[in-house]
Amino acid sequence: MKIVTCVAPINMAVIKYCKCPWLIFYILTRCEIFFHCFLGGKRDDDLILPINDSLSASLNTHVMCAKTTIMSSPNLKENKFWLNGKEQTFNSPRLNSCLKAIKDRCDQSLPHLNWSISICSENNFPTAAGLASSAAGYACLVYALAKLYGIEGEISDIARQGSGSACRSIYGGWVQWHKGSSPLGLDSIAQQLFPANHWPEMRILILVVNDTRKKYSSTIAMKRSVDTSTLIHHRANRVVPERIQTLSRAIAEKDFATFAEIAMKDSNQLHAICLDTFPPCVYMNDVSHAIVSVVHAFNEYKNDIKAAYTCDAGSNVCIYLLESEVQDLVSWINYVFPKSADITQQEYYRGLPLEQRNMDKAVFEGLNITPFDVDLLKYIIHTNVGDGPEVLKDEQAHLLDDNGCPKSLHF
């Protein structure tokens, strides 16, 4: 019997990823015979290839992570998969693509290669709510499979086949996903640009507006965008290449103002594409837009760019800022989005500690900023940039018992 348990980070993109439509991929491969002979009829839906490079930070796994245990045993009758305590079908094309790619790459004489497996995974944050659960989840799955089958070396191309953004969560720190040019996606891989400790002052606040499953998955929305939006192609060809270069330089030089301006503009452009999609896929809501306005007002008040928002495919807003600004910005958020007394501090402030401080009300009155209704924000997660996936050595960490059943089901 073999068993391994790993954790993997979520990542928050500063330059967002957009997927290559099947048609463009087909034209790239040019010839259907080539397509079928060499790719076994695989469409980009299987390979998950992007139309532009993207760049993100992987976040501290001690605050937010996916945790996955995989057991392989001759006693297991069939493959099984549980996510957040619920059994899932093993018949998922993405899960099977990852498993097949890992098995193809490992030593074919391994005795446990043909044994069945049990997979049990848990996210310690909302799943499918636009908080990158698929990135952490598939990175963790592929990393754990690689450990189970003894694979060393590049696996971000395999994680990519689970969920595009998952390839970036294979590495810690600041990570670039190179779109690559190979039709097989062999060079569409992630690369760590800087380790987690490169910019130690960087902090991230995630303002959770909605932690329920989003209306449409990013997979479906992206497909519709590449099929119907013209802006998405302008962005991929004309905007992203320069932004990636400027952003990498800004991170290298720890130039927060440049970093922040690109982050905000890129997020705005992603959501402009969502509106340019037909029919539109709207993710941000009035609260998300109000947070964006607060960040701009904060920067104006500080007479410098001190905070940067970025939103993925959901209404939640992620804010990058330096440690020295965290308390000030949180006091602004507390003023504009008051919470009712029945939500405990523990429920509301999650992750790294936050000191409770409130700004003088007169400041806001002078700025003509008025508070919204209570409880528009569900909670705030305070975190920082962290390392990539890791194996948990402690046997207690396993989510499966000796029979390959989730321990959580015993309670």
Ligand X SMILES: Nc1ncnc2c1ncn2[C@@H]1O[C@H](COP(=O)(O)OP(=O)(O)OP(=O)(O)O)[C@@H](O)[C@H]1O
Ligand Y SMILES: C[C@@](O)(CCOP(=O)(O)OP(=O)(O)O)CC(=O)O
Question: Contacting ligand Y (CB under 6 A), which of 116, 127, 219, 327?
Answer: 219
Q: Choose one: 33-41, 238-246, 307-315, 357-365; the region binding ligand X (CB under 6 A).
A: 307-315
Contact between 126 and ligand Y per CB under 6 A: no
Torsion of CA 271, 385, 162, 404, to 10 degrees: -140
Partner whose footprint covers residue 13, from ligand X, ligand Y, none (CB < 5 to 8 Å by kind) = ligand Y
3-class secondary structure per residue, 275-322: HHCCCCCCCCCHHHHHHHHHHHHHHHHHCCCCEEEECCCCCCEEEEEE
Contact between 244 and ligand Y per CB under 6 A: no
**Whether the Cβ atoms of residue 312 and residue 130 lie closer than 8 Å to each other:** yes
In single-letter form, the type of residue at position 214 comes to K
CB of 175 to ligand X, least distance (A): 15
Nearest to ligand X of 218, 288 (CB atom): 218
DSSP track, 345-394: HHHHEEES--------HHHHHHHT-----TTSS-EEEEEEB----EE---
CB of 213 to ligand X, least distance (A): 8
Contact between 175 and ligand Y per CB under 6 A: no
Contact between 98 and ligand X per CB under 6 A: no
CB of 33 to ligand X, least distance (A): 34
Instruction: Tell me, residue by residue from 189 to 228, as one string, x for binding to ligand X by CB under 6 A and - for no binding.
Output: ----------------------------xx----------
User: In sequence order, what are the residues at sequence separation of 6 or more whose Cβ sits closer than 8 angstroms to the Cβ of residue 76?
Assistant: 115, 116, 117, 118, 404
Question: Contacting ligand X (CB under 6 A), which of 76, 106, 128, 359?
Answer: 128
Residues in 308-327 that interact with ligand Y by CB under 6 A:
312-313
Provide the token pair at 361.
């009300």
The CA distance from 156 to 164, in Å, is 10
CB of 325 to ligand X, least distance (A): 25
Instruction: Tell me, residue by residue from 284 to 313, as one string, x for binding to ligand Y by CB under 6 A and - for no binding.
Output: ----------------------------xx
Q: How many residues in the shown chain lie near ligand Y by CB under 6 A?
A: 16
The CA distance from 348 to 207, in Å, is 10
In single-letter form, the type of residue at position 172 comes to G
What angle is formed at CA 249 by the lines to CA 197 and CA 273, rounded to 5 degrees? 100
**Whether the Cβ atoms of residue 266 and residue 16 lie closer than 8 Å to each other:** yes
Q: Choose one: 16-24, 55-63, 138-146, 185-193; the region binding ligand X (CB under 6 A).
A: 138-146
In single-letter form, the type of residue at position 165 comes to S
Provide the token pair at 189.
């891989």
Q: Choose one: 15-23, 59-67, 120-128, 325-333; the region binding ligand Y (CB under 6 A).
A: 15-23
Question: Contacting ligand X (CB under 6 A), which of 47, 49, 66, 208?
Answer: 66
Contact between 134 and ligand Y per CB under 6 A: yes
Q: How many residues in the shown chain lie near ligand X by CB under 6 A?
A: 23
Sign of the CA dihedral running 155, 84, 135, 22: positive
Provide the token pair at 216.
């449409």
The CA distance from 76 to 260, in Å, is 50
Residues in 321-380 that interact with ligand Y by CB under 6 A:
none
Contact between 165 and ligand Y per CB under 6 A: yes
CA 63 to chain CA mean position, Å: 14
Contact between 137 and ligand X per CB under 6 A: yes
Question: Contacting ligand Y (CB under 6 A), which of 52, 54, 188, 331?
Answer: 54
- For ligand X, the binding residues (CB under 6 A) are 66, 83, 121, 123, 127-135, 137-138, 140-141, 165, 217-218, 312-314
- For ligand Y, the binding residues (CB under 6 A) are 13, 16-17, 19, 48, 54, 134-135, 163-165, 218-219, 222, 312-313
